[in-house]
């Protein structure tokens, strides 16, 4: 009863007493209909073995075979020892944005497979689904019902007078915020479209929308999701006269969804996708126990680029020290690449505008592009870098593929040793380069990092040790396997950043029964390192199995050492 009282209290805070009570009555009926249907997955909190693979359902394909079946066969054959969770990017019928303009939340895109194909993964892996909660496709049946003013759908979208002053609204795109649409009665209205004219923002002021989307959430749990990614959650609640990002009622909505899951499915975790500066990002932990259990560590990807471009870990080390120790129910999702570009905003307050300009210049030199957002004053500023993370770390002076692969893998090692859960994008794991053909095909800059790979050609490459893919894939997967066996890499194991040298990122991770000193040379030079008081005796490198009798070690360019006292 206490959990239901919390849900009721949150609804009244969001909607006021009469409407909140009405919402509670409807939500209680919905929850009752699901309460006997759960198949408990038996997952506990993430531990050191928790490594998440981020992938589209058709990232790996074979002609004549359902892509989900092809993907499952590949992962079982090559990644079963490396990953614990599969994060499926949207696999629903869609009209644009590679799945993030959802036509039907509860169907699987027939070009990918079926729900049975999705659930087949659960015999080996935890499942993470994308919950595209902020918007829906303009071609969806829900939006068609809104245009027809059908009962239950009349308030689906957010209608706004185009003469309203929307200057305070935070814009993640350089596109119009409002889109005119014609309703079936002949009226033209303007609806809120944060991301594109095909992505209609949902109106969570409507109880009908709340109930419909809560049903979607519970259906995903029924189909086996144990982690739900709240896409673009920061923009959920709109109120004219405010920035319409991180609205207090957005936070209350996250608390509400968490409270519902705590009541019905406490094994399910929420992760918030908020591509914003660090302080704003971690606000979605709430008080440490009432909002998301995981938040994306969005500052990490661009900060690593800055570190390797400058060959200086000073800023990265100071930032890592500031992460602090989280509680037993929250942690970071440490990633370097995703289906989207590399966010620029998370660098705000960390690096200078000159350094950001230098990063952009290097990314463009490496074949990438830059997407922009619209500012309240009408100007545009960089929003994300569109490039594969592999090619972002390319350099003219690296001396060929071998050194390029070493530099990239060094960057990935840092994400593996920081406190939190690693999230690894499949194109990074496979050593994918910029996919220019995809950009030409779609006309979208983000396609550069969304290649569709033929499985037979892929297998041939990763099994040939002379190929660039193999150089990346073999070392990356081996590093992950070692990582998963160390209790010191538990998400909430202790950590301390060591100021050993500006050329080497050094962090000590420690559990009750293990200490690991993780060192990463971020330069193209040999570096001598003194790990000082971090250990008093000989050490062994967990990766290479080499023994070191002295606390002083010499590291080759971009070398990674995970030292444990012998």
The tokens describing 218, both together, are: 């519970």
CA dihedral 487, 488, 494, 496 (to 10 degrees): -170
Distance separating alpha carbons of residues 400 and 398, to the nearest angstrom: 6
140 membership: H or E segment, kind and range: none
The tokens describing 526, both together, are: 């040999």
Tell me which of 97, 98, 201, 231 is the catalytic residue.
231
Beta-sheet strands, E only, within 401-503: 421-425, 453-454, 494-501
The tokens describing 370, both together, are: 């830059």
325 membership: H or E segment, kind and range: none
| Strands 504-510 and 269-272, sheet pairing | unpaired
- Asked about 63 being catalytic, the answer comes back as no
DSSP code at position 157: B
Distance separating alpha carbons of residues 480 and 144, to the nearest angstrom: 46
Residue keyed to tokens 């019905």: 264
Helix, strand or coil, per DSSP, at residue 551: coil
Residue keyed to tokens 């303007």: 190
The tokens describing 265, both together, are: 């499915």
For the chain, what's the residue count?
A: 566
10 Å CB burial of residue 528 (0-12, 13-18, 19+) is: exposed
> By C-alpha distance, which of 530, 263, 524, 536 is closest to 400?
524
**Beta-carbon neighbour count of residue 123 at 10 Å?**
8
List beta partners, residue 225.
127
10 Å CB burial of residue 279 (0-12, 13-18, 19+) is: exposed
Residues that are catalytic:
231
């Amino acid at each position: 009863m206490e959990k239901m009282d919390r849900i009721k209290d949150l609804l009244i805070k969001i909607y006021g007493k009469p409407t909140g009570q009405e919402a509670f009555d409807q939500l209680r009926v919905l929850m009752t209909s699901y309460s006997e249907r759960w198949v408990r997955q038996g997952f506990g909190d993430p531990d050191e073995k928790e490594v998440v693979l981020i992938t589209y359902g058709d990232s790996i394909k074979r002609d004549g075979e359902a892509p989900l079946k092809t993907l499952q066969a590949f992962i079982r054959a090559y990644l079963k020892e490396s990953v614990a969770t599969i994060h499926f990017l949207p696999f629903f019928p869609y009209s644009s944005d590679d799945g993030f303009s959802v036509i039907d939340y509860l169907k699987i895109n027939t070009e990918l497979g079926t729900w049975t194909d999705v659930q087949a993964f659960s015999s080996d892996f935890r499942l993470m689904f994308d919950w595209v909660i902020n918007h829906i496709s303009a071609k969806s049946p829900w939006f068609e019902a809104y245009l027809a003013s059908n009962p239950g759908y009349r308030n689906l979208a957010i209608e706004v007078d185009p003469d309203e002053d929307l200057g305070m609204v935070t814009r993640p795109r350089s596109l119009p915020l409002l889109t005119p649409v014609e309703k079936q009665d002949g009226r033209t209205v303007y609806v809120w479209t944060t991301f594109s004219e095909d992505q209609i923002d949902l109106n969570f002021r409507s109880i009908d929308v709340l109930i419909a989307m809560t049903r979607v959430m519970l259906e995903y749990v029924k189909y086996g999701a144990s982690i739900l990614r709240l896409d673009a959650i920061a923009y959920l609640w709109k109120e004219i006269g405010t920035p319409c990002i991180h609205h207090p009622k957005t936070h209350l909505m996250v608390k509400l969804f968490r409270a519902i899951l705590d009541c019905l499915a406490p094994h399910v975790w929420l992760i918030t996708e908020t591509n914003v500066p660090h302080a704003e990002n971690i606000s979605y932990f709430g008080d440490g126990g009432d909002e998301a259990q995981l938040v994306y560590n969005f500052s990490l990807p661009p900060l690593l680029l800055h570190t390797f471009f400058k060959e200086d870990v000073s800023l990265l080390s100071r930032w890592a020290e500031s992460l602090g120790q989280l509680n037993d129910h929250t942690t970071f999702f440490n990633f370097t690449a995703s289906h989207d570009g590399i966010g620029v905003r998370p660098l705000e307050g960390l690096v200078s505008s000159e350094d950001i300009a230098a990063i952009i210049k290097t990314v463009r030199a490496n074949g990438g592009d830059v997407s922009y957002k619209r500012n309240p004053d009408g100007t545009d500023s960089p929003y994300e870098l569109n490039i594969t993370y592999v090619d972002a770390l390319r350099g003219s002076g690296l001396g060929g593929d071998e050194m390029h692969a070493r530099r990239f893998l060094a960057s990935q090692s840092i994400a593996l040793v920081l406190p939190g859960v690693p999230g690894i994008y499949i194109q990074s794991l496979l050593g994918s380069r910029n996919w220019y053909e995809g950009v030409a095909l779609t006309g979208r800059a983000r396609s550069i990092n969304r290649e569709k790979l033929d499985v037979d050609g892929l297998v041939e490459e990763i099994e040939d040790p002379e190929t660039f893919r193999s150089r990346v894939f073999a070392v990356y997967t081996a590093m992950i396997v070692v990582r998963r066996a160390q209790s010191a890499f538990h998400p909430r194991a202790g950590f301390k950043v060591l100021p050993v040298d500006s050329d080497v990122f050094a962090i000590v991770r420690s559990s009750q029964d293990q200490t690991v000193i993780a060192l990463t040379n971020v330069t193209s030079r040999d570096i001598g390192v003194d790990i000082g008081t971090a250990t008093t005796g000989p050490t062994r490198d967990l990766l290479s199995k080499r023994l070191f009798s002295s606390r002083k070690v010499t590291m080759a360019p971009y070398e990674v050492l995970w030292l444990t006292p012998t």
